[in-house]
Amino acid sequence: MAQLFYMSGFGNEFSSEDPRCPGSLPEGQNNPQVCPYGLYAEQLSGSAFTCPRPANKRSWLYRILPSVKHKPFTAVPCGNLTENWNEVEPDPNQLRWLPFTIPKSTEKKVDFVAGLHTVCGAGDAKSRNGIGIHMYTCNTSMVDRCFNNSDGDFLIVPQQGEILITTEFGKMMVEPNEICVIQQGMRFSVDVFGETRGYILEVYGAHFELPDLGPIGANGLANPRDFLCPVAWYEDRNVSTGYTIINKYQGKLFACQQDFSPFNVVAWHGNYTPYKYNLKNFMVINCVAFDHADPSIFTVLTAKSTRPGVAIADFVIFPPRWGVADHTFRPPYYHRNCMSEFMGLIKGHYEAKEEGFQPGGASLHSIMTPHGPDVDCFEKNSTAELKPERVAEGTMAFMFESSFSMAVTKWGLQTCQRLDKSYYQCWEPLRSHFNPNWKPSKK
C-alpha cells in the first residue's frame, strides 16, 4: 500500500488538494459560479452557523458529484446497535467483561458496521444529549458501502488489528495504541486485515476538544501538534451494482443506494475534519511527592457539557510512567464517584487488577458504585518498598468517563455471554486490618 501522508494540529484551518488535480481549491472564495475542474462545492457544518468563532466547525468539500445524489433512505436491521436504554432492568453492580468474541471469518464474514455492538449508554440522539459505548468485532473489509453517523461523533480505539479508514477527507491508518475521531456526518469506510476488535465512544451534541490545562500551563498532556489529519484523496469510480450509504439516524440504521463512490472529494478546506492520535505521544503529568493527583490529569480529549467542569464524556488513559510518591499507597485508591467509569484495556496488565481484567475486555463502575484494587493488589502494595518504579510498562488502559448514568444493554448483560459473573469475588478476601490498640511509632 502507498505511504499515507497527514497534516498535523488539532482544530486547525486546513486545506488540501489531491496532487492529481493541482489548483482544485477555489481561490479567494468558497462557492464560485464554476468550480475548478467542474467540481461541485459542498459545505459540511459541524456546528450551528452562529456559534462563536472558537467553536464554529465547518469544512468545504469540492467533489465530483454532490452527496445529495442518492436514492431514498430505507430502514435496515440494526443488529446489536441500539439506543434503547430500557431493554433490561438497571444493574448497579460492578461489571466486568471477558474479552469480547471476534467472529471467525471461516464461519461468517462480518464487516465494521455489521460488527457494531452497543454495551451501554444514556441520553437521546434526538435531543442531542447523551453517549453510547460500543464494541466493534469484525473480520472483513467494507466493500462498496460506507457509514455515516448523523447522531454524533465516534472516538474509535483499536485494540486488535490495524484499520484503514477511508473518509471524504482522505485515508488514515489507525493501529492499536492509536485512536481516531470521525466527527458527526462524515462518511467513512473501514478496511481490516484479519480478526479485528476495538472500542467506540459515541457522543451526541458535542465535539471532542483538548482539555484546558489550567495551572499546568501551556504544554502537556496531549499536545495539539501530535494530532494528524488526512490529506485529500479521491476516487472517480462508478459502481453499477450500487454503492450503499449506511446512515445512523436517531439511533436507527438506514441505507440508500447510489451509483458512484462517495469518496470523490478532490480538494477541501476547513477546520471540521477526521483526525488520529498516537497515545505514546501523551506527556504524562504525575505526582512527584505524595498522594494521588486525580485521574483527570490523564485526560486526552473531553466532550464538554453545558455545566462548567462537567463532561458529557472524557477519554482518559493510564500510560507507562514513573511512580515515585512517598508514604503513599500507589495504585488507584478505593473510590465511589458521581461519574460513570467504563474501562478498556488495549494491551498489557492493568495495575489494579492484573489477572481478571484482560485486553479486549472491559469493566463498568456505575455512578456511586464502589470500586478499587483487588485483594492481591492491596496486600502487595501496602507493604511494598517505596522506591521509584515504572508503572504500567507495556500496558495501555483507558477510561470513558461520563456524567451520565449509563444503562447496560441486553447484549452487554446477556447476549454477548462475556459478562464475568465472578467479578465481585476479587474483593471478597479483603479483611480487616483494624487494630484499636495501634499507637504511632516514636520518631
Q: Active-site residues: which are they?
A: 292
Q: What is the DSSP letter of 222?
A: S
Our measurement of the distance from residue 115's CA atom to the centroid of its chain's CA atoms, rounded to an integer in Å, reads 16
- Report whether 350 belongs to an annotated binding site: yes
CA dihedral 258, 262, 267, 273 (to 10 degrees): 140
Please state, in angstroms and rounded to a whole number, the distance separating the CA atoms of residues 330 and 359. 22
| Torsion 78-358-302-408 (CA) sign | positive
Give the burial class of 7: count Cβ atoms within 10 A of its Cβ; 0-12 exposed, 13-18 middle, 19 or more buried.
middle
Q: Which three cell numbers, joined as nine digits, stand for 374?
A: 483487588
Sheet strands (E) in 307-442: 311-318, 321-323, 340-347, 362-365, 389-391, 396-402, 407-408
On the CB side of 374, CA atoms within 13 Å amount to: 15
Q: Which three cell numbers, joined as nine digits, stand for 219?
A: 504544554
- Report whether 428 belongs to an annotated binding site: no
Give the burial class of 143: count Cβ atoms within 10 A of its Cβ; 0-12 exposed, 13-18 middle, 19 or more buried.
exposed
- Cell 492484573, located at residue: 354
Of the candidates 173, 107, 111, the one whose C-alpha atom is nearest the C-alpha of residue 139 is: 111
Please state, in angstroms and rounded to a whole number, the distance separating the CA atoms of residues 100 and 196. 11
At residue 344, the 3 state secondary structure works out as: strand
CA dihedral 395, 210, 403, 398 (to 10 degrees): -10
- Report whether 6 belongs to an annotated binding site: no
* 112 and 139 Cβ atoms separated by less than 8 Å: no
Of the candidates 263, 271, 265, 319, the one whose C-alpha atom is nearest the C-alpha of residue 295 is: 319
- The 3 state secondary structure assigned to 120-156 is EEEEECCCCEEEEEEEEEECCCCCCEEEEECCEEEEE
- Report whether 349 belongs to an annotated binding site: no
* 184 and 273 Cβ atoms separated by less than 8 Å: no
Binding site listing:
335, 341, 350, 371
Binding site listing for Fe cation:
335, 341, 371
Binding site listing for homogentisate:
350, 371
